Structure 1
Amino acid sequence: MSERRTLRGLGVSPGSTAGPVRRMAGLIRLPDPTVVPPDDRAAELEKAEHALRETSDTLTALAAKAAEPTAREILEAQSLIAADPGLRDSVEENTGAGMDAAHAIAAACAHHRRALLAAGGYFAERAADLDDIGNRAVAAALGLPMPGVPDPGHPFVLVAEDLSPADTATLDPEAVLALVTEKGGPTSHTAILARARGLPAVVACPGAAMLDDGEAVAVDGALGEIRTGVGQDEAAAIRQRAARERDRLRASGGPGRTADGHPVKLLLNIGSAADLESGFSAEGVGLFRTEFLFLDRREAPGLDEQIAAYEAVFRALPGGRVIVRTLDAGTDKPLPFLNLPEEINPALGIRGLRVDRLRPGVLDTQLDAIVAAARSTGVRPWVMAPMVTTAAEAAAFARKAGARGITDVGAMVEVPAAALQASRLLAELGFLSIGTNDLSQYTCAADRQHGDLADLLDPWQPALLRLVAECAAAGERAGKPVGVCGEAAADPLLAVVLVGLGVTSLSMSAPSIPAVRESLARHTLEECRAAAGAALEAGDPAEARRSARSGSD
Structure 2
Amino acid sequence: MDEQAQYFGAGIGEGIVTGPAVWFRRPRVDAQTTAEAREGDGLGDIREALEHVSTQLTARRTGAPAAIAALIDGQLALVNDPTLLEEAAARMREGTSPAAALAASFNEFIDEFEALGGIVAERAVELRDLKHRALASLNGDRVIPLPNPGHPHILLARDIPPSAAVDLDPEQVLGLVTLEGSQTSHIAIIANELGIPAVVGAARAREVRDGAKLRLDASEGVVEPAPEDARVSAPRPRPREPEPVGGPTPAVLADGTEIELLANVASMSHVTRARELGAQGIGLLRTELLIQSEGLLTGDAAPSREVQRVCYERAFAEMPGAKFLVRLFDAGSDKPLPFLGVRGEMNPALGVRGVRALLAREQILRDQLEALAEAERNSGAELWVSVPMLSTPVELHRVREIADEAGVRRLGSMLETPAGALTAQDFLADSAFISIGTNDLVQHTIAIDRTNADLHPLQLHDHPAVLAMIQHIQEVSDEAGVPVSVCGESARNPELAILLVGLGIRSLSMAPSALAKVREQLTGLRLEDAEAAAQRALGTLANFL
> TM-score, length-normalised on structure 1?
0.71
Give yes or no for the alignment of 1:192 onto 2:189.
yes
Tell me which amino acid in the other structure corresponds to 1:75.
Q
Structure-1 separation of matches of 2:531 and 2:217: 27
In 2, are the aligned partners of 1:314 and 1:379 still within 8 Å (CA)?
Answer: yes
* Residue aligning to 2:534: 529
Q: 1:160 aligns with which of 156, 159, 164?
A: 156
Give yes or no for the alignment of 1:181 onto 2:177.
yes
For structure 2, the residue ranges without an aligned partner over 5 or more in a row are 1-5, 33-41
Structure-1 separation of matches of 2:259 and 2:357: 33
SS in 1 for 2:252: coil
Q: 2:237 aligns with which of 233, 236, 239?
A: 239
Q: Quote how far apart the aligned CAs of 1:364 are.
A: 1.9
Give yes or no for the alignment of 1:267 onto 2:237.
no
**For the structure 1 residues 173 and 261, does the alpha-carbon distance in structure 2 shift closer, same or farther, using more than 3 Å as the test?**
farther
Tell me which amino acid in the other structure corresponds to 1:160.
L
**For the structure 1 residues 149 and 433, does the alpha-carbon distance in structure 2 shift closer, same or farther, using more than 3 Å as the test?**
farther
SS in 2 for 1:288: strand
1:153-187 Cα deviation digits (max 9, x unpaired) = 78x66622453343565445676766522554322
SS in 2 for 1:239: coil
**For the structure 1 residues 73 and 29, does the alpha-carbon distance in structure 2 shift closer, same or farther, using more than 3 Å as the test?**
closer
* Residue aligning to 2:251: 256
SS in 2 for 1:406: coil
Tell me which amino acid in the other structure corresponds to 2:341.
L
Q: Quote how far apart the aligned CAs of 1:483 are.
A: 1.8
Q: 1:379 aligns with which of 381, 387, 397?
A: 381
Tell me which amino acid in the other structure corresponds to 1:436.
T
Q: Quote how far apart the aligned CAs of 1:389 are.
A: 2.4
Q: 1:62 aligns with which of 57, 80, 85?
A: 57
**For the structure 1 residues 525 and 317, does the alpha-carbon distance in structure 2 shift closer, same or farther, using more than 3 Å as the test?**
same
Give yes or no for the alignment of 1:315 onto 2:321.
no
Q: 2:480 aligns with which of 478, 481, 494?
A: 478
SS in 2 for 1:350: coil
**For the structure 1 residues 254 and 178, does the alpha-carbon distance in structure 2 shift closer, same or farther, using more than 3 Å as the test?**
farther
1:413-435 Cα deviation digits (max 9, x unpaired) = 23332223222122321222222
Q: 1:488 aligns with which of 476, 486, 490?
A: 490
**For the structure 1 residues 173 and 26, does the alpha-carbon distance in structure 2 shift closer, same or farther, using more than 3 Å as the test?**
closer
Tell me which amino acid in the other structure corresponds to 2:534.
R
* Residue aligning to 1:23: 22
| % same residue | 32
* Residue aligning to 1:437: 439
In 1, are the aligned partners of 2:450 and 2:459 still within 8 Å (CA)?
Answer: yes
In 2, are the aligned partners of 1:330 and 1:352 still within 8 Å (CA)?
Answer: yes
SS in 2 for 1:149: coil
Structure-1 separation of matches of 2:499 and 2:118: 29
In 2, are the aligned partners of 1:289 and 1:324 still within 8 Å (CA)?
Answer: yes
Moved more, 278-287 or 167-176: 167-176
SS in 2 for 1:274: helix
Tell me which amino acid in the other structure corresponds to 1:475.
S
Tell me which amino acid in the other structure corresponds to 1:344.
E
Tell me which amino acid in the other structure corresponds to 2:256.
G
Give yes or no for the alignment of 1:294 onto 2:294.
no
Structure-2 separation of matches of 1:396 and 1:143: 58
- Matched ranges for 1:30-49 at <5 A: none
SS in 1 for 2:390: coil
* Residue aligning to 1:40: none
Structure-2 separation of matches of 1:366 and 1:400: 11
In 1, are the aligned partners of 2:8 and 2:454 still within 8 Å (CA)?
Answer: no
Structure-1 separation of matches of 2:349 and 2:435: 20
1:1-32 Cα deviation digits (max 9, x unpaired) = xxxxx999755346x7989767341364799x
Give yes or no for the alignment of 1:281 onto 2:278.
yes
* Residue aligning to 1:39: none
1:64-106 Cα deviation digits (max 9, x unpaired) = 8545464035425765999889x99xx99xxx9xxxx99xx89
Structure-2 separation of matches of 1:220 and 1:254: 34
SS in 1 for 2:24: coil
* Residue aligning to 1:72: 72
For structure 1, the residue ranges without an aligned partner over 5 or more in a row are 1-5, 34-46, 541-553
Structure-2 separation of matches of 1:324 and 1:274: 16
SS in 2 for 1:277: helix
Tell me which amino acid in the other structure corresponds to 2:395.
E
Q: 2:364 aligns with which of 362, 365, 378?
A: 362
SS in 2 for 1:526: helix
Q: Quote how far apart the aligned CAs of 1:400 are.
A: 2.1
**For the structure 1 residues 394 and 316, does the alpha-carbon distance in structure 2 shift closer, same or farther, using more than 3 Å as the test?**
same
SS in 1 for 2:326: strand
Structure in which a larger fraction of residues adopt helix: 1
In 1, are the aligned partners of 2:369 and 2:403 still within 8 Å (CA)?
Answer: yes
* Residue aligning to 2:35: none
1:480-536 Cα deviation digits (max 9, x unpaired) = 222222133111111112222333321111121111112223454334424533565
**For the structure 1 residues 119 and 404, does the alpha-carbon distance in structure 2 shift closer, same or farther, using more than 3 Å as the test?**
closer
Structure-2 separation of matches of 1:452 and 1:432: 32
* Residue aligning to 2:39: none
